[in-house]
Amino acid sequence: MQTRKLRNLEVSSIGMGCMGFSHGYGQIPTEAESIRLMQKAYNEYGCTLFDTAEVYAAFENEILVGKAIKPFRDKIILSTKYMPKALPGQDIPEGKLSRKGLRMAVEGSLKRLQTDYIDLYYEHRVPIESNVEEMALWMGELIEEGKIRAWGQSEPTLEQARKAHAVTPLSAIQNEYSIMHRTSEKEIFDFCEKNNVGFVAYSPMAGGFLSGKYNKNTEYKGDDVRRVITRFAPENVEKNQPLLDLLNNFASAKNATPAQISLAWMLHKKDFIVPIPGMRKDERMAENFGASNVVLPDDEFNKIEEELAKITIYGDRKDSDIQKLGTIVTVAKS
């Protein structure tokens, strides 16, 4: 696979979002199957960016990812995230959003991931009350100590990104981004471009919607966020059909799939964007990683943009909806 830069970190142009191996999309695979898939991502497709977080299934996902990447730890970029809110067993008098809280979190992640450094460490869902300059200073200390190689923010405001970057340069911003959800396009992309900050796109397949393989009758079970996010409400699935029609038209003309067109579109958009789809089946990996070989020339890309401007998107993926499931620890923005 081709590579891209998140500031100084070189990663495959498409990474692997590992959250779904432990939670968020219903029935999880066995541990052995999850490890097989993650190892296949590296061994067969050359995927070198693996993303997890301490909050995913309350530490379980980090443990799983640590086991999977062990044979090739030093060949990949491992990203995880500090949750600025106490998780089970993390209650300290200073509160989690403190220097001590951050250091406690990083030590826990290092242990669970069975590594002595984290390549890219994010502040997860930067809350409004976070003193980002202070956080940047503390992250800078961790970089100096070699515990992390670089840091980033997930879902910061532009102001939070600017302030933090001025203290300790950010290597990446990780936000939700897909052909269905483009709120980062203006200000955050400008910021990334001007400051040599990478952009990691989470939920780049809009939870699978962009594959066109789900319909209004698809049933979701357990902790599957698609039970509650409005993008998957039956009426919105129907109303968003024009977007799938657009992807399908380009897909058939290029002998590709809608999932691949949506990823190729993003890769063409900016050279600092790296999507991290969640994939728990062999065929999904073949399809999604295969998108790195689908080239959209400028005229085709522009045509998609032109058509996209005429399409209204219905529904989204909001934490306030996900919280209704009661299965995910999130930090709400006020």
Give contact residues for ligand NAP (rule: CB under 6 A): 17-20, 25, 51, 125, 154, 174, 202-208, 211, 213, 259, 276-281, 284, 287-288
Judged by CB, which is closer to ligand NAP: 110, or 285? 285
Active site residue 314: no
Least CB distance from residue 36 to ligand NAP, whole Å? Answer: 14
Contacts of 29 (CB under 8 A, 6+ apart): 21, 37, 280
> Could you give the CA distance from residue 261 to residue 288 in angstroms, rounded to a whole number?
10
What is the CA 130 to chain-centroid distance, rounded?
Answer: 21
Residue nearest to ligand NAP (CB): 17
Q: Which of 45, 56, 177, 202 is catalytic?
A: 56
Least CB distance from residue 144 to ligand NAP, whole Å? Answer: 25
Judged by CB, which is closer to ligand NAP: 51, or 223? 51
Judged by CB, which is closer to ligand NAP: 27, or 298? 27
Q: Give the residues across from 180 on adjacent strands.
A: none
Judged by CB, which is closer to ligand NAP: 101, or 156? 156
Least CB distance from residue 166 to ligand NAP, whole Å? Answer: 22
Question: For 166, how many CA atoms within 13 A lie in the half-sphere containing its CB?
Answer: 8
Judged by CB, which is closer to ligand NAP: 100, or 221? 221
Least CB distance from residue 283 to ligand NAP, whole Å? Answer: 8
> Could you give the CA distance from residue 271 to residue 3 in angstroms, rounded to a whole number?
10
Q: How far is CA 41 from CA 109, 199, 265, 266, in A?
A: 22, 21, 22, 20
Beta strands in the chain (DSSP E): 3-6, 9-12, 16-17, 49-51, 77-82, 118-123, 148-154, 172-176, 198-202, 273-275
Q: How far is CA 171 from CA 118, 217, 252, in A?
A: 13, 41, 37
Least CB distance from residue 52 to ligand NAP, whole Å? Answer: 6
Task: Give me the active site residues, please.
Answer: 56
